[in-house]
Structure formats: structure tokens, C-alpha cells
């Protein structure tokens, strides 16, 4: 069975989250993207403590697709240093994980 991951990133607006999430799913780099927000983020950036309203994207994919997903996020993300964190999914229902595999398989049109 394939290894599965949930990938997290954040963006600055709901519109940006929709654009990035839709691009990821259309490219079949993730089977689904859930958008959560707004959230409040506190973080250090260039020596200053920052506070921002952001939207979080949770992307379910296979470990095999992770390098391409990372490339896509970096190329289409508005931040200089986007958060891209992959958390392994150690267990999930066979039906759900089978669906993730099927929806992220390369097709003739996307290879």
C-alpha cells in the first residue's frame, strides 16, 4: 500500500487559498484540499514578531506525489518562504486511502 501524507500550508486570503487549492486538485497533486480559516498566526519574520490573518490548506496525497506537490506550491505561493509541512498518515480507512491513491494517479493528460 502507498504511503500517505497530509500537507499543510497557509496563505494570506480566502481567494488565494481557493486559487492554490484548486490548482493543486486540478493537477491531481492531492485528492482533496480543505481550506480552514481565517486563523491568526503569530511568527517571527525578518527579526520582527508578526501577527497575520491567514487561511490554512490541508492537502491529502500520496508520498509519491509529494515532490511535485512541493514544487507546485512553491511556484504558485505568494510567500517568499511558504510553510510546507507533510505529516504522515499512519492509518486511514482502506476505502478513503484507495480514493486518495486513485485521484492522485498520473493520467495520460497530466504526465
Domain ranges of the chain: 4-104
CB crowding 63-97: b at 16 or more within 10 Å, else e = eebbebbbebbeeebeeeeebbebeebeeeeeeeb
Residue 107 has a pLDDT of 64
Residue 2 has a pLDDT of 60
Residue whose C-alpha is closest to residue 87's, from 68, 67, 65, 59 = 59
Per-residue pLDDT, averaged over 74-90, amounts to 96
Predicted TM-score of the model (pTM): 0.90
Whether residue 109 has pLDDT greater than 90: no
Distance CA 26, CA 75 (A): 15
Whether residue 110 has pLDDT greater than 80: no
Identify the band that residue 90 occupies on the pLDDT scale cut at 50, 70 and 90: very high
In this structure, CATH architecture of domain 4-104 = 2-Layer Sandwich (3.30)
CB 84 within 8 A of CB 73: yes
Amino acid at each position: 500500500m502507498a504511503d500517505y501524507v497530509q500537507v499543510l500550508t497557509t496563505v494570506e486570503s480566502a481567494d488565494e487559498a481557493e486559487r492554490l487549492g484548486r490548482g493543486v486538485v486540478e493537477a491531481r497533486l492531492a485528492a482533496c484540499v480543505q481550506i480552514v480559516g481565517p486563523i491568526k498566526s503569530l511568527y517571527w519574520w525578518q527579526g520582527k514578531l508578526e501577527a497575520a490573518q491567514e487561511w490554512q490548506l490541508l492537502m491529502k496525497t500520496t508520498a509519491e506525489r509529494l515532490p511535485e506537490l512541493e514544487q507546485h506550491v512553491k511556484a504558485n505561493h505568494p510567500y517568499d518562504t511558504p510553510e510546507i509541512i507533510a505529516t504522515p498518515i499512519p492509518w486511514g480507512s482502506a476505502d478513503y486511502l484507495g480514493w486518495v491513491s486513485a485521484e492522485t494517479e498520473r493520467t495520460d493528460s497530466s504526465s
